Structure 1
Amino acid sequence: MEELETSRNGIRKNTDPGDLKAVLFDMDNTLFDFVAAKLEACREILSYIGREKGDIAREPSELFGYFLRGTYGFEDYENIRDYMQERNLFTAQGYRECCEIYEREKLQNLELYPAVMDTLDKLKGLGLKLAVITDADRNHALARLTKVGLLNYFDLLVAADMTGTQKPDPAHFLFALEAIGIKPGETLVVGDSIKRDMAPARKLGLKTAYASYGDWRPGEETDQCFDFRLNTFSDLLEISGL
């Protein structure tokens, strides 16, 4: 790893970015605010249930908490089923409606972080290869990237159903390196999770940029767990020498 220096705005900056050939991006909460979109989807589900049952409105965090339990996957509909069953709100038709609301509203409420497109344009202008590595399945990833207008920016998409694993398993990173034909030292990984993005990437010898602006579950950070800190997405341009 090359020597690091501190730039004027406090971002640790690579003194020689010329060897960088590719950037691998996590997707959710790195390119766009996925948690905010999920919360809006939960809000709409509870609103629907309230209309059907004549119930008082509840906070979306109440349903969102079910997705955080780890009982099922972060995107699994079974989280909605459990919520409804535990409150004696479950019907087969209502459950189907809630799942449809969840998918529709989650997608419709996605919003890019500031300056994402402009920054990606400049990175592409440098001749860098850009890829997405995500724990979403391929169909969901394609839908999200299409919704926010980013699909054509990326040379490669690596999704959970393509590798059969999820991060922090190294399979996503290794798949991308082989597919693009680059070495770890020529590659930067950008992600919002220390455990799932930064730690496995560093073990493989990749450079790492921690998207602190998107980390909605902080507390994992240590002094040596990443190479660069991004306070905004456009801070990537500091690392790239622009």
Structure 2
Amino acid sequence: MEEFDKNRSIIQTDQERIYPGTLKAILFDMDNTLFDFIAAKMEAFRKILSFIGREKGDIAEEPSELFRYFLRGTYGFEDYENIRDYMQDRNLFTAQGYRKCCEIYEQEKLENLELYPAVTNTLDKLKGLGLKLAIITDADKHHALARLTKVGLLNYFDLLVAADTTGTKKPDPTHFLFALEVLEITPEETLVVGDSIKRDIVPARKLGLKTAYASYGDWRPGEEADQCFDFRLNSFSDMLDIPGLL
């Protein structure tokens, strides 16, 4: 039977209750879990379209038009080829203009990163509890380090597992298994926090890890339907109410 504590916005199941002091580590997704990455990408798209408009005349499109190219799955979610296709489909492509758009994309999405409320204070408290903290991300190591440095979080984490660390991306379980081995912890001692049901929560649960769904950062409509998570976080600081941390 499921209990719902409305005051704490956390779902907890009786069969998978975490008892006090049992958690030793927390594995965090990065983008849209610690900071709003989609908002930063959208701002980058606005700047790209502004640049193209100055070069070729006002194309009068919303940033969502360019974002759709990144959502197709033809290339990676961060691949510059998405920008190339967008420009070519509109007869706007030049080699010089394309290079400049890629530069704008990288600069603006990094500069516009903003932490969710209370992230720093919450991480301070988690570190004070002696928990091991790690990042599990599909970004490559170079971009992950740049983002964590930009928002001032790099020194909070004991381990960074990036796409080029394991050669895989979630929902492949290799990221999680790698972290468990390096940190010398068991699934029962570990909590995974992420904004994607399919890429974070489902693979973690299959390995026996506890899961906290960062609903505040989930920009994918419809993924939550199964509610296949141990805890629901409506804000980052809700983590401090999860049993087993104290």
| Range class of TM-score, shorter chain | over 0.9
Of 97, 100, 103, the match for 1:100: 103
Of 21, 34, 38, the match for 2:37: 34
- Which structure 2 residues correspond to residues 45-60 of structure 1 after superposition, within 5 A? 45-60=48-63
1:226 aligns with 2:229: yes
TM superposition shift of 1:132: 0.2
Q: Secondary structure at the match of 1:112?
A: coil
| Counterpart in the other structure of 1:164 | 167
1:74 aligns with 2:77: yes
Of 145, 149, 172, the match for 1:146: 149
Of 132, 136, 144, the match for 2:135: 132
Q: Secondary structure at the match of 1:9?
A: coil
Q: Residues 11 and 228 of structure 1 are in contact (CA less than 8 Å); yes or no, is this contact kept in structure 2?
A: yes
TM superposition shift of 1:163: 0.5
In structure 2, what is the Cα distance between the partners aligned to 1:133 and 1:27? Answer: 7
TM superposition shift of 1:15: 5.3
1:117 aligns with 2:116: no
User: Which runs of 5 or more residues in structure 2 are unaligned?
Assistant: none
Q: For 1:78-129, what per-residue CA distance to the aligned partner results, in whole angstroms no more than 9, with x for missing partners?
A: 0000000000000000000000000000100000000000000000000000
In structure 1, what is the Cα distance between the partners aligned to 2:115 and 2:226? Answer: 28
Cα 1:38–1:173 change in 2 (3 A) is same
Q: Could you state the TM-score of these two structures normalised by the residue count of structure 2?
A: 0.94
Cα 1:147–1:10 change in 2 (3 A) is closer
| Counterpart in the other structure of 1:11 | 10
Structure 1 runs of 4+ aligned residues shifted over 3 Å read 3-8
Cα 1:10–1:116 change in 2 (3 A) is closer
TM superposition shift of 1:55: 2.0
Letter in 2 for 1:83: Y
In structure 1, what is the Cα distance between the partners aligned to 2:191 and 2:20? Answer: 10
Percent of residue pairs bearing the same amino acid type: 81
In structure 1, what is the Cα distance between the partners aligned to 2:174 and 2:28? Answer: 15
In structure 1, what is the Cα distance between the partners aligned to 2:88 and 2:59? Answer: 17
Q: For 1:158-199, what per-residue CA distance to the aligned partner results, in whole angstroms no more than 9, with x for missing partners?
A: 000110110000000000000100000000000000000000
Q: Secondary structure at the match of 2:26?
A: strand
| Counterpart in the other structure of 1:61 | 64
Q: Secondary structure at the match of 1:221?
A: helix
In structure 1, what is the Cα distance between the partners aligned to 2:227 and 2:70? Answer: 30
Q: For 1:130-153, what per-residue CA distance to the aligned partner results, in whole angstroms no more than 9, with x for missing partners?
A: 000000000000000000000000
In structure 1, what is the Cα distance between the partners aligned to 2:3 and 2:135? Answer: 28
Q: Residues 201 and 211 of structure 2 are in contact (CA less than 8 Å); yes or no, is this contact kept in structure 1?
A: yes
RMSD: 1.5
Letter in 1 for 2:231: F
Q: Residues 210 and 230 of structure 1 are in contact (CA less than 8 Å); yes or no, is this contact kept in structure 2?
A: yes
Of 214, 218, 226, the match for 2:217: 214
TM superposition shift of 1:27: 0.3
Letter in 1 for 2:8: N
TM superposition shift of 1:11: 1.3
Cα 1:129–1:5 change in 2 (3 A) is farther
After superposing the two structures, state which structure 1 stretch, 35-44 or 48-57, moved more: 48-57
Q: Residues 4 and 15 of structure 1 are in contact (CA less than 8 Å); yes or no, is this contact kept in structure 2?
A: no
